[in-house]
């Protein structure tokens, strides 16, 4: 079995975080979380997976609106979110950079991120790029808040952050580094992160790479299912087939 790609490593790491989930939902234009959810279901057929943009993995007839209703009813355990900026309180920015009235860059917008961030019990943040440009001391605009005042009813929120360099946990308003990805160090991650975070218990430990079983699933049935929604992504994100 050949070495895994960065996308395969991140997808496997995210899939392992779904072990206690019953229903995982994935938003539109999210190929990496879709890969993770489909891998988790391959290993646990009882897991329900909903992916916006898929014909095969979407039981809803009204897309995002029904997904929001499902989340409000407590029927989604896990969701994934990302952002152009993420800060140390797990706030995410999907709107723009610079001053709000005169931004240097403008992005698509928040859509349902603020709503789902408060309702879904486990939100996994993800970003393949891990640099101070992304992970900032304070986001320029809060599209979805990682923490809220005590008087706000909030059954959901951020639990983990997966990047190309590391796996973090989030609790009590702060990130803690669980482990670096293979080939990366705690010192490097501190240098490339614009906010402070807690140190891992064992700084020598690294995120385990995919097992042979996980890689075979990724490069076999999972790649085929991802290709139904994201054909270009499936063509470049996976390593060699387990059969070669």
pTM for the whole thing? Answer: 0.95
Q: 18-75: per-residue pLDDT in tens?
A: 999 999 999 999 999 999 999 999 999 999 999 999 989 998 887 788 999 999 999 9
Angle at 107 between CA 106 and CA 111, to 5 degrees: 135
Say what the alpha-carbon torsion angle 193, 196, 200, 203 is, to the nearest 10 degrees: 60
Instruction: Output the pLDDT for position 2.
Output: 59
Q: 100-150: per-residue pLDDT in tens?
A: 889 999 998 998 999 999 999 999 999 999 999 999 999 999 999 999 999
CATH architecture for residues 82-177+190-195: 3-Layer(aba) Sandwich (3.40)
Percentage of residues in the chain with pLDDT exceeding 70? 98
Residue 242 has pLDDT above 60, yes or no: no
Q: What is the mean pLDDT of residues 170-197?
A: 97
Q: How far is it, in rounded angstroms, from Cα 118 to Cα 15?
A: 22
Q: What is the mean pLDDT of residues 91-98?
A: 95
The model's confidence at residue 243, banded by pLDDT at 50, 70 and 90, is very low
Q: What is the mean pLDDT of the chain?
A: 94
Helix axes 31-43, 6-16, angle to 10 degrees: 60
The model's confidence at residue 204, banded by pLDDT at 50, 70 and 90, is confident
- Spell out the domain ranges in the chain: 1-80+211-244, 82-177+190-195
Q: What is the mean pLDDT of residues 188-215?
A: 95
Instruction: Output the pLDDT for position 241.
Output: 57
Instruction: Output the pLDDT for position 237.
Output: 94
Residue 188 has pLDDT above 70, yes or no: yes
Q: How far is it, in rounded angstroms, from Cα 220 to Cα 231?
A: 14
Residue 244 has pLDDT above 80, yes or no: no
Instruction: Output the pLDDT for position 101.
Output: 87
């Amino acid at each position: 079995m050949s070495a895994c790609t960065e996308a395969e490593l991140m997808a496997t790491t995210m899939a392992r975080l779904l072990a206690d989930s019953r229903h995982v939902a994935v938003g539109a234009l999210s190929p990496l979380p879709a890969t993770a959810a489909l891998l988790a279901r391959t290993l646990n057929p009882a897991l329900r997976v909903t992916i916006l943009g898929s014909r095969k993995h979407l039981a809803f007839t009204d897309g995002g609106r029904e997904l929001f209703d499902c989340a409000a009813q407590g029927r989604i355990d896990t969701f994934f979110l990302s952002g152009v900026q993420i800060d140390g309180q797990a706030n995410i920015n999907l709107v723009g950079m610079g001053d709000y009235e005169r931004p240097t860059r403008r992005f698509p917008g928040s859509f349902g991120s603020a709503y789902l961030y408060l309702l879904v019990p486990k939100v996994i943040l993800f970003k393949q790029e891990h640099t101070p440009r992304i992970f900032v001391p304070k986001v320029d605009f809060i599209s979805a808040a990682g923490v809220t005042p005590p008087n706000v009813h909030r059954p959901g929120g951020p639990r983990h952050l997966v990047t190309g360099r590391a796996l973090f946990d989030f609790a009590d308003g702060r990130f803690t580094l669980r482990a670096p990805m293979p080939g990366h160090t705690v010192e490097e991650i501190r240098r490339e992160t614009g906010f402070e975070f807690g140190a891992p218990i064992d700084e020598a430990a690294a995120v385990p790479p995919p097992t042979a079983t996980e890689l075979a699933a990724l490069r076999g049935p999972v790649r085929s299912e991802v290709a139904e929604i994201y054909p270009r992504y499936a063509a470049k994100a996976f390593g060699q087939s387990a059969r070669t």
